[in-house]
Structure 1
Amino acid sequence: MGESSAHSMSKCTELTLNRDAVIDTDRISNLPDSLLYHILSFLPTKEAVATAILSNRWKPLWIFVPTLDLRDNCCKKPISFTYIVYRVLALHIAPSLRSFRLTWYSPCNSFHLDTWIHAALTRNVQELHLEIYLNGGQDDSHVYEGEYFKLPSSLYTCKTVVVLELRGGILLDPPPSFQFPSLKILRLSKIRYGSVNSISTLISGCPVLEDLSVVRDCTNNGISFKIKVHTLKRLHIGFKSYKPEPPDYNLEIHTPALEYFRFSGHLRNILFHEKLAHLIEARVDICALEDWTRVYEIYYGDRVFKLLRALNNAKFLSLFPGDKECIAFGSIYPSMFQNLVRLNFKVTPSNWHVLLALLLVAPNLEVVDLNKDYDNENRLCWMELPDAPGCLSSRLTTFNFGGFEKLEHEVEFVKYILKEARALNTMTIKIPAKLSKEDVFETLSMFPRLSTTCLITVEKGI
């Protein structure tokens, strides 16, 4: 009888513990409301609303979340989704919005879009992200040719927006006089501009702007604009063109406080009016069609080197100067990259000489990351390695080479690094699957090394 009673008590205790454990597994529901609002703010609004079915505890939470992320599903009827957006805005009662994101791919009356954007503005929105394609997005050429949505005039009177991102089929046509007193981050990607002065006019109304990104489709030639912002610290410029002739644009940049610069796409005329004395990092990715480089090869190469010379104060440089023979025209000299400590370079047969020239003008270089973008030696543009010692940075500690295939010039280059890099600690060589790690390692181990602490590692690449 005693054993039976003890057994029953044990079972009862076990059941109680298991029940408590099950209840205790939903610890997230016991978190304070403010923390749950923060968690839900990382979800699209559709998914945040769906959490209401979990329990009564979760049912009212989404209406207080300080973010709204409304995404049109173009597979559904736009009329029904329009109703959903109005319904969400009516139920959502957060007094202010940290972020409002609207993504739209369907035909829609501009009145509705204006109303929704105005609703965000009246709640003192801080981050406003708009991506709108009223005719369903871009075609195969990556250019949107549909109807454009003109931004409402109420946007230009917003005093609280800190981040403004505009993408797609949006028409930017700012009034002559306005101001975004709080705007620090502005991103414009493949939108349409009402006039040639639209960008300059917009920027002039942003007195505290720190981060600017402008990515344009060069559908029209003769583009000319200025970026003049004394507070700007980060700048990304991108020009994309899918036309048979090279794009024609002129860009003047007045940004004396710039710390980060990125350029991507097709290079034409870029002029920096001040020395970039505060530049820390620069990223350059040049793209040119084959016909452009064959017809315009001389001036195209000159512009590549002109841009590089303007960036010679950078401490960190990521560079793909192009894969066409046009790069053979021009020179990086007389610029010295005295501050450069890290170089990330994408090498092709046509730009080896650019890499070698950079190594000779960067006396404080510490890290070199190479990534190879070819698998043969056609059109190889090579510069003879210097015979005199001391031309390579005496501070080089790390050398990485991705895509090494034991081609003759690659082997000679690695051999040169080992012979001249006095402080080299690590050399990592990534090879394709067709090569043997042991064979490559044996080859490299035979070369003389100036550094007594250098560790060579050979890895299979992805």
Structure 2
Amino acid sequence: MGTDIISSLPNSLLCHILSFLPTIDAVGTSFLSRRWRHLWKDLQAFDFDTQRIGNNERFVSFVDTVLSQRRFSDIRKLRLICGAHLDSGNAVGRWVRAALGPCLQEMHLLLYGDVSSNYVDEIFTCASLVSLTLVANLVLNNISSVHLPLLKNLSLGPDVPVDLNLISACPALEYLYFIFDASFYPNIHLLSPSLKRLRLIEARERDFDDPIITEIQIDAPNLEYLRIYLEESCVRTLVISDFPNMMEASIDIAPKAEHVDWVPKLLQALSKTKKLALGGFTTQCLVKAPNLHFPEFSYLCQLRICIRSFNSGVLIKLLCCCPKLQVLKIDNNGVQYFGDQTPRTEPSSWTQPASVPNCVRSHLNILEFRRYPDSLEEREFLAYILQNALVLKTFIIYTNIGSFEKEKEHILNEISVLPRGSSICQVEEFTYGKCFFLSSGGYKGDDSYCFSMEL
């Protein structure tokens, strides 16, 4: 008979293990044995979710019972997910106040439906908080006082209109995840010398005309990671600091006339980054920009670029400014999907560059092309890269979803005869449901799910 190792563990360690479970599961362990019957009462971390119980009345009763029977008055972590129509006599406020105290480090409130917000001021003066998530119909633009000296992680959902001055009132803030409804914000000013990671994501949940944001200002000189997504709003002005410590940036900004003016300025601020992802909207902005000049991306090692209308000229110009680029991933997300058998007769705008970009000749070792359509311009661009990439190790190509085997075979045969400057280059062809590895002995199938959206 095997040894019961878990029974030999001390109660403190067992309770620590239980703290990683949803609270309803932690309480459920009380049926295991006499020893486990009251162990959950020593918990200081709680995770409540209405979906695990379903009935709102039972949920309120369960949470009230658990919190009233805990042995320690101090709570270290509270995660609370409440569905709509939780008619509970301000139960949420009661639970939040029970958690607030000198030991509370994490609070995550995901509240769907109308909830009282009369406890908000108390949250923003909880000096021990390290991590705070608010996704709820709460109004936070009239907070009387903010005192969060230890707060490092802050996540705000789209239904939380907030006075953004609270950002600068958090001296230790390192991570900000801000999902916003642009109709709430005529201006967005984010000022934080301590901030290292910023995700600024627009979420449209209302049927308004495209809102206008007069200005977005990001003053965070120590930023290392930046993700910006703007789909519908029109931002007239962008004011940004330099980001000398930038490690990774991902931007997708709708191709509006106002954005075309400042997107190149944003790229200039990101010129020190090591990883860069440009969404399809962003590349449209760049193509429309008059007299486009890319900054020198002296440290850039990985580039992922989505292209809605392939433009080899812009791509070559960008590669010339990335002297140390090692990984290039291209996603042609404007390609026609299989099923439309219209012949690809569009003219090619390919022009042979006067000189080979330094990164292609000396550093590029991974090339990836997603949704490759095998049109004339893409094929000429690809032939140029393969011929001049002297240290290329791997070329990965993703053909269209549902392509005929005959069409895929034709693409592979076309690629297999292209001259390669690197003697060690291996070509791999992937689709969503099946992978094909091309080598000198032909290609073979492998049932795998190969598609990934990683940078």
Q: 2:30 aligns with which of 39, 44, 52?
A: 52
1:450 equivalent to 2:421? Answer: yes
One-letter amino acid of the structure 2 residue matched with residue 118 of structure 1: R
Give the TM-score normalised by the residue count of structure 1: 0.81
- The share of aligned pairs that are identical, in percent, is 30
Q: Is the 8 A contact 1:265 1:285 kept in 2?
A: yes
Give the TM-score normalised by the residue count of structure 2: 0.82
Q: Which residue of 2 aligns with 1:210?
A: 174
Q: Give distance in 2, aligned partners of 1:333 and 1:156.
A: 45
Q: 2:246 aligns with which of 279, 282, 302?
A: 279
Q: 2:327 aligns with which of 364, 367, 388?
A: 367
Q: What displacement does 1:186 show?
A: 0.8
Unaligned 5+ segments in structure 2 are: 337-342, 434-455
User: Cα distance 1:33–1:345, how it changes in 2: closer, same or farther (>3 A)?
Assistant: farther
Q: What displacement does 1:342 show?
A: 0.2
1:162 equivalent to 2:130? Answer: yes
CA offsets, 1:284-333, max 9 Å, x none?
133x4xxxx6xxx4334334333333322211012214189665321541
Alignment coverage as a number of residue pairs: 416
Q: Is the 8 A contact 1:352 1:381 kept in 2?
A: no
Q: 2:14 aligns with which of 36, 39, 47?
A: 36
Q: Is the 8 A contact 1:254 1:273 kept in 2?
A: yes
Q: Give distance in 1, aligned partners of 2:7 and 2:351.
A: 66
Q: Greater CA deviation, 169-178 or 277-286?
A: 169-178
Q: Which residue of 2 aligns with 1:304?
A: 263
SS in 2 for 1:125: coil
Q: Which residue of 2 aligns with 1:461?
A: 432
Q: Is the 8 A contact 1:324 1:350 kept in 2?
A: no
Q: Is the 8 A contact 2:113 2:136 kept in 1?
A: no
SS in 2 for 1:238: strand
Q: Which residue of 1 aligns with 2:190?
A: 227
Q: Is the 8 A contact 2:312 2:350 kept in 1?
A: no
Q: What displacement does 1:29 show?
A: 3.3
Q: Greater CA deviation, 452-461 or 46-55?
A: 452-461
One-letter amino acid of the structure 2 residue matched with residue 341 of structure 1: C
User: Cα distance 1:167–1:382, how it changes in 2: closer, same or farther (>3 A)?
Assistant: farther
Q: What displacement does 1:214 show?
A: 1.1
1:248 equivalent to 2:212? Answer: yes
Q: What displacement does 1:160 show?
A: 0.9
SS in 1 for 2:429: strand
SS in 2 for 1:448: coil
SS in 1 for 2:319: helix
1:121 equivalent to 2:100? Answer: yes
Q: Which residue of 2 aligns with 1:339?
A: 299
CA offsets, 1:319-364, max 9 Å, x none?
2141896653215414221111101222222666554432221111
The CA RMSD over aligned residues, in Å, is 2.9
One-letter amino acid of the structure 2 residue matched with residue 399 of structure 1: L
Q: Which residue of 2 aligns with 1:239?
A: 202
Q: Is the 8 A contact 1:302 1:329 kept in 2?
A: no
Q: Which residue of 1 aligns with 2:76?
A: 98
Q: Which residue of 1 aligns with 2:47?
A: 69
Q: Is the 8 A contact 2:102 2:126 kept in 1?
A: no
CA offsets, 1:89-129, max 9 Å, x none?
01122454332111112334574222211111126111110
Q: Give distance in 1, aligned partners of 2:272 and 2:173.
A: 22
Q: Which residue of 2 aligns with 1:421?
A: 389
Q: Which residue of 1 aligns with 2:277?
A: 318
Unaligned 5+ segments in structure 1 are: 1-19, 136-146
Q: Is the 8 A contact 1:189 1:214 kept in 2?
A: yes
Q: Give distance in 1, aligned partners of 2:352 and 2:399.
A: 26
CA offsets, 1:151-205, max 9 Å, x none?
43222221111001111312214545431011011111113326xxx111x1132
User: Cα distance 1:272–1:122, how it changes in 2: closer, same or farther (>3 A)?
Assistant: same
Which structure has the larger Rg over C-alpha atoms? 1
Q: Which residue of 1 aligns with 2:154?
A: 186
User: Cα distance 1:385–1:152, how it changes in 2: closer, same or farther (>3 A)?
Assistant: same
Q: Is the 8 A contact 2:236 2:259 kept in 1?
A: no
Q: What displacement does 1:226 show?
A: 1.4
Q: Give distance in 1, aligned partners of 2:157 and 2:218.
A: 19
